[in-house]
Structure 1
Amino acid sequence: MSSRVLIVVEIALRIVLFVVFLQTENVKPFIRVIQQEEIWLYKNPISPDTITPNAVFAISIGVPLICILLRLLYSTDKSEMGHALLGLTLALTLNAVITNFIKLAVGRPRPDFFYRCFPDGIFKVDWRCTGDPVMILEGRKSFPSGHSSWSFAGLGYLSLYWAGKLHCFSSLGRGQSWRLVAAFSPAFGALLIAVSRTCDYKHHWQDVIVGSLLGFGIAYVSYRQYFPSLTNRLCHSPHSSVSDHTMKARHNPLNLETV
C-alpha cells in the first residue's frame, strides 16, 4: 500500500470514528433498575461542573495539539509531526467511541441522579421521573467517566510523547528526575480533572478510576502504533525514522554502537 493511500485510510478511519461518536451521543442508554437499598448512592446534590465538558474537549485536544505543533519548530524530522498527530487523533477518537459504547451498555446512574429525576425531592413510585428528560438521560451515563477518559487520552498521550522526547526511561535520560516530572505533568493535570468529577458529584469513584485507566490505556496503545518503546534509545523518533536508522547501521557496522 502506497504512503498516500495509507494516509487517506488513516484519515478516513478517524472521520468514521468521530461520526460514530457523534451518533452515540444521543442514543438512549440501558435503563438500569435501582434497588431501594441503594438509593442513597444517587441522592447527592446537583452541583455545577468544575471543568465543563467543552473545557475538557478544549484541553484534551488543544493542549497536546499546540505542544506537538510547537515541537515542529525545533525538529529536523518533519514527518515526526504527522506521526504524532496520527497517534493523538487515534487516541482521542478511539477513546470517544469506546467510552460512549460502555456508557450506553452499562447505564449506571450518576451520584446526583435522584435529584435529576425528582427536582422537588419527592420520590415517585416506580421511578417515574418528573425532571428534565435531557438531564435524566445524561444522568444514566455515569460509567465510565468521560471527563477522565478524555483527559487521559489527550493529556496522557502528551505525557508519553514528552517522555519519549526527554528519554525518561531510556539509558540516555534515565536517572534525571526533572525529565520525569516534566513529562508527566500533563498526566497530573488529567488526574486533577478526573478527581474533580467526584467532587462535583457527577461520578462515582469507580467511574473515575476505570475512565482514567481506559483513557491512558488507549493513549499508550495509540502512541506505540507510531513510536517505539520508551526504553528504546531512539524513542524520540517515530517508527519510520528508527527503521531507517537501523538499516543504515546494518550497512555500516562501524557505527553500530550509536544505535
Structure 2
Amino acid sequence: MYFEWKDPFIRKIQPDEMWLYRNPRTESYVPLIALYPSMYGFAALVFVTYFFHTRDLTDFKCAWLGISLAGTLNGVITQSIKIAVGRPRPDFFWRCFPDGVMNEDMLCSGDHHSIMEGRKSFPSGHSSVAFASLGFISLYLFGKLNVFNERGRGQAWRLVVSVVPLLAATMVAISRTCDYHHHWQDVVVGSVIGLIEGYLCYRQYFPSLDSRYCYLAYASDAMYPNPSRKTTSKPEASGIEVNPENEMLVDTAEKDNKWT
C-alpha cells in the first residue's frame, strides 16, 4: 500500500519519442475490481473442491498460505519496480496533455494522480498478479492430478484441466496491451515475475511436480513416518517407502491420491 500511493521516478521524455505514448485512453478491459474476486474466487472453488473430496485440512491451509504469500510477494516486488523505473504508459500523452496540446517544456497540465499513474507502466501489475495467483492454481492442479509423474502421464484431460488457469492469466496479460495501459515489454516481464513468484511460493508448501508424492503438502502427516510405528527393519520391508526427492517416509497405506 505504501508503494501504491508513492510517486514514481520522473523519467525524462524526449519530444521525438512521444509517439510511443500517444495511444488513446480507454477503460481497462479487466479492471482490478473484477480481477481479484475472479482469481481468488476460482482459487476458493479449486481448494474447497479438493478439501471436500479428501477432507485434508492441512493441504487446504497450505494452499491458502501459498497463494496468499504469492500475492503479497508479488505486490511488494512489482510495485517497487514500478516506482523505481517510472516508465510512461502507452496513453501517457493524453494523461499529461488532456487538451491534446504539447508544450515545448513538456510540462503536464493534466490531473496529478492520473499523471503519476501514467508513469507506472513497467512491469504490468495485472500480468504479474494474474500469473502469480492463477499460475499457483495451475501448479496446484498439476500436483493434485499427477500430470508430470508416472501416475498421470498419458491422460491428456489432466493436462488440459490444469492449464486453464494459465490460459486465463495469459488473456488478462494480453488485455493490457489491447486497452493501451501497458507496452508489450511490460506485460512479458510482469508475466515472468508472476510465474517465478507463483512457483517459488508453491514449492514452499508442496513437493516437486515430478515427485510420486506431489499431491501431498510438506506439512501433511502422510509425508512422515508414523511415530507410533516401531520397526528395526528397512523401510521397504515394513510397508514404508522412501521419497527419493527429499528422503521423507511415506506410508503406503496413505499414499493413494483420493483426488484421482
Same fold by TM-score greater than 0.5: yes
Tell me whether 120-129 or 200-209 shows the greater mean CA deviation: 120-129
The TM-score, its normalising length taken from structure 1, stands at 0.87
- Summarize the alignment of residues 234-245 of structure 1 with structure 2, pairs less than 5 Å apart: 234-241=213-220, 243-244=223-224
The TM-score, its normalising length taken from structure 2, stands at 0.86
Q: Which has the larger radius of gyration?
A: 2
Matched letter for residue 69 of structure 2: L
- State the distance in 2 between where 1:45 and 1:147 align: 19
Alignment of 1:25 onto 2:39? no
**Residue 247 of structure 2 corresponds to which residue in structure 1?**
none
Alignment of 1:227 onto 2:206? yes
Matched letter for residue 243 of structure 1: M
**Residue 189 of structure 2 corresponds to which residue in structure 1?**
210
Tell me whether 143-152 or 50-59 shows the greater mean CA deviation: 50-59
Task: Select the structure that is richer in helix.
Answer: 1
Alignment of 1:253 onto 2:232? no
Matched letter for residue 253 of structure 1: E
8 Å contact kept, 2:143–2:215: yes
SS in 2 for 1:94: helix
Q: How many residues were matched structurally?
A: 238
SS in 1 for 2:2: helix
Cα offset, 1:104, TM superposition:
0.2
Matched letter for residue 97 of structure 2: F
Cα offset, 1:44, TM superposition:
0.4
- Summarize the alignment of residues 141-180 of structure 1 with structure 2, pairs less than 5 Å apart: 141-180=120-159
Can you list the C-alpha shifts for 1:86-144, whole angstroms capped at 9, x where unaligned? Answer: 10110000001110000000000000000110011100222211111111110000000
Identify which of 78, 90, 109 aligns with 2:57. 78
**Residue 26 of structure 2 corresponds to which residue in structure 1?**
47
User: Where does the alignment leave 5 or more consecutive residues of structure 1 unmatched?
Assistant: 1-21
- State the distance in 1 between where 2:9 and 2:29 align: 27
Distance 1:256 1:244, change over 3 A: closer
Can you list the C-alpha shifts for 1:212-243, whole angstroms capped at 9, x where unaligned? Answer: 11011100000000000000011011012353
**Residue 191 of structure 1 corresponds to which residue in structure 2?**
170
Identify which of 117, 124, 128 aligns with 2:96. 117
User: Where does the alignment leave 5 or more consecutive residues of structure 2 unmatched?
Assistant: 242-251, 256-260
Identify which of 94, 97, 102 aligns with 2:81. 102
SS in 2 for 1:48: coil
Indicate the RMSD between aligned Cα atoms, in angstroms: 1.9
Identity rate of aligned residues, in percent?
48
Tell me whether 26-35 or 51-60 shows the greater mean CA deviation: 51-60
8 Å contact kept, 2:144–2:214: yes
Tell me whether 37-46 or 189-198 shows the greater mean CA deviation: 37-46
SS in 2 for 1:125: coil
SS in 2 for 1:40: helix
8 Å contact kept, 1:56–1:150: no
Distance 1:251 1:89, change over 3 A: farther
- State the distance in 2 between where 1:137 and 1:57 align: 23
- State the distance in 2 between where 1:88 and 1:25 align: 21
**Residue 130 of structure 1 corresponds to which residue in structure 2?**
109
- State the distance in 1 between where 2:113 and 2:101 align: 19
SS in 1 for 2:8: coil
- State the distance in 2 between where 1:218 and 1:181 align: 23
Cα offset, 1:175, TM superposition:
2.1
8 Å contact kept, 2:10–2:119: yes
Alignment of 1:66 onto 2:49? no
Distance 1:190 1:43, change over 3 A: same
- State the distance in 2 between where 1:163 and 1:246 align: 27
